Chain A
């Protein structure tokens, strides 16, 4: 890795498309609540509504990344509160394997993540979005994203 400094503007420029798969229950619910409360979040966040995060797997994550996403995250129901059965837990297992896979390939594991949120609390979704951006920033500073530069 080179020693060149990465300016903040460069990091901002690099955060353009963050795909967030949100489940139709708690995930999307909390985003709706955040909207009602007029909370703001990063403009790079692109929400894709899915029935359950259990529907999202490595294929969808890789397709998002191959098509230009800088980071991918899933936001599902809280642990033990999946509205189906355990879709959020299954999704977590898959994403954990993806993280390990990226590490094995020499990339950062910070641009693929999974979160949970509560439908009644909009700040949980907004907090998750902030964490996604923080983690992506870490990955960019480590020069560990797929599109890494510098």
Chain B
């Protein structure tokens, strides 16, 4: 089967993953990393990876006219993905379905290669369970007393939401990456329902029903009304957009953001996000450089705030950095078996390709069952405002832990 994989803009992570198609002899795979200069010849199946902008329309039309079937692989072409958070600052990241008609979508960040194979073969993806159904934690859905932005990793049986630690598992389907297994709440990259972000917002509004909100006396109505002041609810959720709409902003039915842009699209993705969410976002968008990209962010903060990092943490981090170099070699050589072997090793340490296990001060879950977890366990850290710099990255956070300014002088692979 003739398959061409086109990489548009963004981090290349899904593009790199498609190298695994080569393991299956029935697919004749070719990679087009520069679709803008693609001449255009007849293709059986076109797989689109990376986020799309309105000026990609003409290239998309050329691809569609030459292909029997077009598949959006990964959240970026399917729902906008994490890069679409830049739409908050007026950018216009668009999902494939809004550019051309009749495309299929494989959701996830990172999307699963098995599902892509099913889509290429023209078979239906089996009906997946909700993430909550496969989660080992138990939910009570009681009203929350408090919302926690970070929690100590002690309780492995109670639902994150019951602990006041925001998790979007309600609207997600089961997945391979499974951040929840590494003490990282779900952000809904594989939604089970349309407009998932806004539904999760409704669900969370209900769960937060016991948290104090500001009301005021309405002079005209002579009764109480909802107040405009900041209250416990809004103060404990400083970044609603980044938490609930991380992967689905363009398909969420929300209007396009009007905050003025302050830099490149990549930088705009980060502005407004929370410091404790940064490792997960950098893990998502760093492509084959995600490990060094994430560790740069983390180290800048750790060094400036004297967060202690154990020898074993450093050892595992160095192993990850070495694996990243090996992975880049495997990608350049288009060596599928080597790619699989190295990603499995990365998954062993970092949990998944989104690096859910990597965090400030250590790791979120035990890596090797023979290890003493206390040697590299992460802890809740204090949010300290200031400017942090490490090599090509410089960012400023405010006292609430929100990124206000960022400069990234780095090309993602």
Q: Which residues of A contact B (CB under 8 A)?
A: 57-59, 62-63, 66, 78-79, 86, 89-90, 92-101, 104-107, 109-110, 113-118, 121, 123-125, 127-128, 130-131, 134, 146
Instruction: Report Cα–Cα, A146/B258, bound state, in Å.
Output: 10
Please state if A93 and B233 are interface contacts (CB–CB under 8 Å): yes
Of all A-B residue pairs in the complex, the 9 with the closest CB atoms, nearest first, are A94-B205, A106-B258, A127-B220, A127-B221, A57-B202, A128-B221, A114-B226, A106-B259, A105-B257
Please state if B202 and A146 are interface contacts (CB–CB under 8 Å): no
Please state if A128 and B220 are interface contacts (CB–CB under 8 Å): yes
Write 10 A-B pairs (CB below 8 A) sorted by A numbering. A57-B205, A58-B201, A93-B205, A94-B201, A95-B226, A105-B88, A105-B257, A107-B258, A115-B218, A124-B222
Q: Which residue from chain A places its CB closest to the CB of B239 in the assembled complex?
A: A104
**B 208-249 to A, binary, CB cutoff 8 A, 1 in contact else 0:** 110101110011111111101001011001011100000000
Whole-angstrom distance between the Cβ of B323 and the nearest chain A Cβ: 37
A109 / chain B contacts, CB cutoff of 8 Å: 228
Query: A66: which of B209, B220, B224, B253 is its contact (CB, 8 Å)?
Result: B253
Please state if B206 and A90 are interface contacts (CB–CB under 8 Å): yes
Please state if A90 and B209 are interface contacts (CB–CB under 8 Å): yes
Query: A62: which of B222, B254, B258 is its contact (CB, 8 Å)?
Result: B254
Please state if B225 and A118 are interface contacts (CB–CB under 8 Å): no
B209 / chain A contacts, CB cutoff of 8 Å: 86, 89-90, 93
Whole-angstrom distance between the Cβ of A145 and the nearest chain B Cβ: 10
Beyond the given pairs A96-B233, A104-B240, A124-B221, 7 more chain A to chain B contacts, judged by CB atoms under 8 angstroms and listed by A's residue number, are: A63-B253, A89-B209, A93-B205, A97-B237, A105-B255, A107-B255, A131-B225
A123 / chain B contacts, CB cutoff of 8 Å: 222
B307 contacts partner chain A, Cβ-Cβ < 8 Å: no
Q: Which of A101, A115, A131 has the most CB of B within 10 A?
A: A101
B219 / chain A contacts, CB cutoff of 8 Å: 127, 131
B279 contacts partner chain A, Cβ-Cβ < 8 Å: no
A contact patch SS: helix
B188 contacts partner chain A, Cβ-Cβ < 8 Å: no
Query: A100: which of B202, B221, B224, B234 is its contact (CB, 8 Å)?
Result: B234
Q: Which residue from chain B places its CB closest to the CB of A115 in the assembled complex?
A: B225
Q: Which residue from chain A places its CB closest to the CB of B230 in the assembled complex?
A: A100
Whole-angstrom distance between the Cβ of B220 and the nearest chain A Cβ: 4
A110 / chain B contacts, CB cutoff of 8 Å: 228
Instruction: Report Cα–Cα, A97/B204, bound state, in Å.
Output: 9
Q: Which residue from chain A places its CB closest to the CB of B215 in the assembled complex?
A: A79
Contact A58:B223 (CB < 8 A) given known A86-B209, A92-B213, A106-B259: no
B146 contacts partner chain A, Cβ-Cβ < 8 Å: no
B345 contacts partner chain A, Cβ-Cβ < 8 Å: no
Please state if A94 and B88 are interface contacts (CB–CB under 8 Å): no
Please state if B198 and A115 are interface contacts (CB–CB under 8 Å): no
A94 / chain B contacts, CB cutoff of 8 Å: 201-202, 205-206
Q: Which residue from chain B places its CB closest to the CB of A93 in the assembled complex?
A: B205
Instruction: Report Cα–Cα, A3/B241, bound state, in Å.
Output: 30
B10 contacts partner chain A, Cβ-Cβ < 8 Å: no
A113 / chain B contacts, CB cutoff of 8 Å: 225-226
Instruction: Report Cα–Cα, A102/B198, bound state, in Å.
Output: 12
Instruction: Report Cα–Cα, A33/B223, bound state, in Å.
Output: 16
Please state if A59 and B240 are interface contacts (CB–CB under 8 Å): no
